[in-house]
Chain A
Amino acid sequence: MAREKSSKDNAQALFHSLRSAYAATPVNLKIIDLYVGFAIFTALIQVVYMASVGSFPFNSFLSGVLSCVGTAVLAVCLRIQVNKENKEFKDLPPERAFADFVLCNLVLHLVIMNFLG
């Protein structure tokens, strides 16, 4: 009983510390995180749809899901490069990071549009 209670306390304490630590991140990073979450959510919706309706134009399903996952991954890379706490990317101006992000997304979506069918 005491164990359960302490584990429940632990879980709550953990949740609180996570929340407070996250609240301290700068706003621009939070916006990127929101974008990542949105992309993953869209991908999940597509997977659920495929599971219910069937995967017939498989290339369409693949391109849809991979475009969401791809842009989420690229946004995470952008977040890594823009994060001021990251020592390795101190000298990288955030404009350059954003330009790389846009370029990679461009290539990704060109491929997606070709593969969508």
Chain B
Amino acid sequence: MAAPETSTAAVPTLYTNNTLRNAFGGVLSFFILLLIGVMAFSIRLFSVIKYESVIHEFDPYFNYRVTQFLAKNGIYEFWNWFDDRTWYPLGRVIGGTVYPGLTLTAGTIWWLLNSLNIPLSVETVCVFTAPIFSAFASWATFLLTKEVKGTGAGLTAAALLAMVPSYISRSVAGSYDNEAVAIFALIFTFYLYIKTLNTGSLFYATLNSIAYFYMVCSWGGYTFIINLIPMHVLLCIVTGRFSSRLYIAYAPLVVLGTLLAALVPVVGFNAVMTSEHFASFLVFIILHVVAFVYYIKGILSPKMFKVAVTLVVSVGLAVCCAVIAVLIALVASSPTKGWSGRSLSLLDPTYASKYIPIIASVSEHQPPTWPSYFMDINVLAFLVPAGIIACFSPLSDSSSFVVLYIATSVYFSGVMVRLMLVFAPAACITSGIALSQSFDVFTRSIKFQLPGISSNTEVDAAETSSATAEAQNDAVKTEKSEETSKNRPSKKSKKKEKEEKPSTKAKAEKRLLALPLDSSVISLLLLILLGAFYVVHCVWAAAEAYSAPSIVLTSRSHDGLHVFDDFREAYGWLRHNTDVDDKVASWWDYGYQTTAMANRTVIVDNNTWNNTHIATVGTAMSSPEKAAWEIFHSLDVKYVLVVFGGLVGYPSDDINKFLWMVRIGGGVFPHIKEPDYLRDGQYRIDSQATPTMLNCLMYKLSYYRFVETDGKGFDRVRQTEIGKKHFKLTHFEEVFTTHHWMVRIYKLKPPKNRIRGKTKKSKSKTSSTSSRGKRSGSGKKNPWQ
């Protein structure tokens, strides 16, 4: 802060009072931020308290297994790891197909703690990584919103993000998934971009590129950043906000960011070859053209500039058209125009259901319902429009970025429910701005109307957000004195003129913004009540809705709490009662958990990278016993695992997922026809079911001996009695069923030693020594030949 201009008696005290207030405000916001971090961490601990410190769901188990491998074998082994215990017999190149950010982060934390002699296990570090990084994410939101609107808005936005249920749902303690660190990386990258845009410092541009690199390492959603930032640059150019700071913010990011993205093995050359990145290159070129035009405009006289323009336009237009035509032809020659399947399904929501059933089958990829918006962002849903309006007054580069961010993220969240997670930070930022502005208005109205306080020159330190607020108060008091804001040193005469203008404007503003005292007090109380509702809802959502580890289930009934630990029971049985090299076949949902907990080789898992392999398993599940046995035998499978919820009423069992097995299997093997399994357009397992359905492997494995439980075979999920009640299995034998019949494990019977009667030769020269084997002809066309 520079020294004030004129010397009136009030000025020295003004100076010290301002520094004192700023210091007090700084300390206060530091402690508030600390508390926000603690709150973000602790609100995510409900599942650890209610259940145990265990890893949730399916995907986190894969990440946990990879982290275990990294912790045990070191980074070089991890980087070059070829996993042969999954996707048997194909295997999977882990080093090249996994986003390493999350595992490297957790591995580093584990290694650091262990080298400090704090012996935390890998599992503990993995479970608690997400809450720690959500605390970091709320601090990053504070920094980002502070750059846009000031400290008050920053603190509000940080508090909102710490609690927003949409983010909690993917980052509870135990949800060890990519989004846990990716959201922090996203917000931090945006913060550094805005900071570079506001300051024009190349140092922050470097940091921005490094943060973008961390984001690329962490999550496939990094394409959102590399398309949103060019969109914003284009918006700034088009609305006349081009400045040299924009160039410094964007151009190094493109070059350095592309290089850094190409370093990550998962992305590799996709960083320059897929359409998802072309937007950044296009805007890079446009930015250079615009910068060059401005430069020429600056050094020429206006008349000469006009001449230059006509010359360039006539010559350059032809060249430009030719280049663009070539580019379009290149991109259009590939069938999907260079976009990957997932990105295409974002732009055209009906794409996946038509062409890629696997993407359509994942429940996270469905569009969200309206109630899920209120569940996930609650009160913010109607604070967001107010925040958007607040961003427009005044409109700056950073606030235009926030508006663009929220517009695009709202669209994408409407396409896929999983992307509500990207929408949540934008909602928190805009709501924070709106809340903070309204608090500003109300408290200022109260202050100006309470007697005895309006004569005070000092503005409440916690309510900063604008130097003009101080300016207008002080300029009102002492017309001559030069107010200084925190960052800008003052120059002699120019600033004085500027200060006198805001002082007259300030008087007018003061009159406009002073609402009646009683209504502002009531409004303030109502806003606080709104915040209270939000907090209550967030805590409820964190405790009840999003804390289920889904590997352990509980239910309350009249005789107390029942715990269903069937999954771990089954995996434990597999781990202790089978050979290390035995292969286990199940639907792809359970692949990660089986490899991580049971430590057995699986055929397909959640990575779903090979559609044909999944279709093979799906076909086997939909075929009669003998055909299914043949398929499994050709894959060296020893055990088949089936999840069945009919006894206890667990709705996500394999019979409910059966329609996807049929669809995906039928998509690759045409002899599986969906209408064969449908009666009146519905999948049924009761007496009205089709014979194909009653004979398929999934039905038999799920309901074998089910009638012994209650005599009638009443399926609690489908709410009917089953169709075929008494049957024997010819090619499989049951080896284990868990306590609540939720997981059932079957063993393939070995092939008979002697074949009675004539040996059935398969048709033609079976050069199919491929591991896919052959299905014995049963009159149907052999799909392997």
Contacts and interface: CB of A to CB of B under 8 A. Distances in A.
Contact of B201 (A22, A85, A100): A100
B258 A66 contact: yes
B269 interface: yes
B247 A80 contact: yes
Interface in B232-273: 243-245, 247-248, 251-252, 255-256, 258-260, 262-263, 269, 272
A58 B271 CA distance: 12
Contact of B202 (A63, A70, A77): A77
Interface stretch (B43-51, B301-309, B337-345, B570-578): B301-309
Interface string A1-40: 0000001001101100110011001000000000000000
B305 to A, nearest CB: 9
A108 B203 contact: no
Contacts of B259: 62-63, 66, 70, 108, 111-112, 115
B459 to A, nearest CB: 26
A97 B311 contact: no
A74 interface: yes
A70 B256 contact: yes
B311 A59 contact: no
Contacts of A115: 259, 262-263
A88 interface: yes
Nearest to A73: B251
A111 B258 contact: no
B189 to A, nearest CB: 15
B314 to A, nearest CB: 9
24 contacts: A10-B311, A13-B304, A17-B301, A18-B300, A21-B299, A21-B300, A62-B262, A66-B255, A66-B258, A66-B259, A74-B252, A76-B247, A77-B205, A80-B248, A88-B200, A88-B243, A88-B245, A97-B202, A101-B202, A104-B206, A107-B256, A111-B256, A112-B259, A114-B263
B209 interface: yes
Task: Give the top 7 A-B pairs by smallest Cβ distance, nearest first.
Answer: A100-B202, A21-B299, A70-B255, A80-B244, A73-B251, A17-B304, A104-B206
Given A70-B255, A88-B243, A81 B202 contact: yes
A108 B253 CA distance: 11
Contacts of B255: 66, 69-70, 73, 108
A70 B254 CA distance: 9
A86 interface: yes
Nearest to A112: B259
A81 B68 CA distance: 48
Contacts of A92: 201
Interface string B675-689: 000000000000000
A80 B252 CA distance: 13
B346 interface: no
Contacts of B299: 18, 21-22, 25
Contact of A76 (B251, B263, B301): B251
Interface residues of A, number: 41
A49 interface: no
A102 to B, nearest CB: 10
Contacts of B243: 88
Given A13-B304, A22-B299, 5 more contacts: A18-B296, A86-B244, A104-B203, A104-B206, A107-B209
A41 interface: no
A22 B301 CA distance: 13
B251 A59 contact: no
B252 A73 contact: yes
Interface string A72-116: 011011101100011011011000010011011001100110110
B517 interface: no
Contacts of A17: 300-301, 304
Interface string B476-492: 00000000000001000
Given A58-B269, A80-B247, A88-B245, A107 B206 contact: yes
B225 to A, nearest CB: 18
A92 B244 CA distance: 14
A58 B243 CA distance: 35
Interface residues on B, range: 20 to 34
A22 B295 CA distance: 11
A8 to B, nearest CB: 11
A21 to B, nearest CB: 4
Nearest to A83: B244
Contact of A107 (B200, B210, B301, B489): B210
B483 to A, nearest CB: 19
A89 B300 contact: no
Interface in A31-71: 58-59, 62-63, 66, 69-70
B205 A104 contact: yes
Nearest to A97: B202
Interface string B184-223: 0000000000000000111101100110000000000000
Contacts of A76: 247, 251
B262 A59 contact: yes
Nearest to A10: B307
A69 B252 CA distance: 10
Interface in B283-322: 296, 298-301, 304, 307-308, 311
Nearest to A11: B311
A77 B311 contact: no
A30 to B, nearest CB: 13
Given A74-B202, A80-B248, A100-B202, A14 B260 contact: no
A100 to B, nearest CB: 4
Contacts of A112: 259
Contacts of A114: 263
Nearest to B491: A90
Contacts of A97: 202
Contacts of A58: 269
B251 A81 contact: no
A107 B304 CA distance: 41
Contacts of A104: 202-203, 205-206, 252, 256
A66 to B, nearest CB: 5
B104 to A, nearest CB: 15
Contacts of B202: 74, 77-78, 81, 97, 100-101, 103-104
Nearest to A16: B304
Contact of B200 (A66, A89, A111): A89
Contacts of A11: 307, 311
> Which of B255, B263, B301 lies at the interface centre, i.e. has the most chain A CB atoms within 10 A of its CB?
B255
A9 B263 CA distance: 52
A97 B209 CA distance: 18
Contact of A14 (B209, B247, B308, B489): B308
Contacts of A74: 202, 252
Contacts of A77: 202, 205, 247-248, 251-252
Contacts of B304: 13-14, 17-18
A86 B205 CA distance: 19
A101 B311 CA distance: 35
Interface in B360-406: none
Nearest to A111: B259
A47 B213 CA distance: 26
Contacts of A14: 300, 304, 307-308, 311
B524 to A, nearest CB: 39
Contacts of A69: 255
Contacts of B245: 88
A21 B202 CA distance: 28
Contacts of B296: 18
A103 B260 contact: no
B550 to A, nearest CB: 40
A14 B372 CA distance: 62
A7 B272 CA distance: 41
A62 to B, nearest CB: 6
Contacts of B301: 17
Nearest to B301: A17
Contacts of B201: 92, 100
A88 B246 CA distance: 12
